Amino acid sequence: MHLEIITPEKKVFEGEVHIATFPGTDGSFQILNNHAPLVSLLKEGEVVYKSKETTQQIRITGGVVEVMNNKIILLADGLAE
């Protein structure tokens, strides 16, 4: 799957991942390959994404995620410290 993480200031990440976990407003959820189309609001929390080589995580202050055709776009309000 292709993941893009974007804040108002910059593009934080763009690349291929196998799994991504997001802090949904009703609890965290994971996206795997061939997931059904989805748009969801996100609350402050950890976004974790895994590629073949590594597992990375960032903390966001909230945002929106869209999933369609194995492409994930995360529009984050900002990065939490």
Q: Domain ranges for the chain, please list them.
A: 2-76
* Upper half-sphere CA count for residue 5 (Cβ side, 13 Å): 23
Superfamily of domain 2-76: F0F1 ATP synthase delta/epsilon subunit, N-terminal (2.60.15.10)
What value does the mean pLDDT take over residues 57-62?
97
pLDDT in tens, 12-54: 999 999 999 999 999 999 999 999 999 999 999 999 999 988 9
What is the distance between the alpha carbons of residues 38 and 35, in angstroms, rounded to a whole number? 8
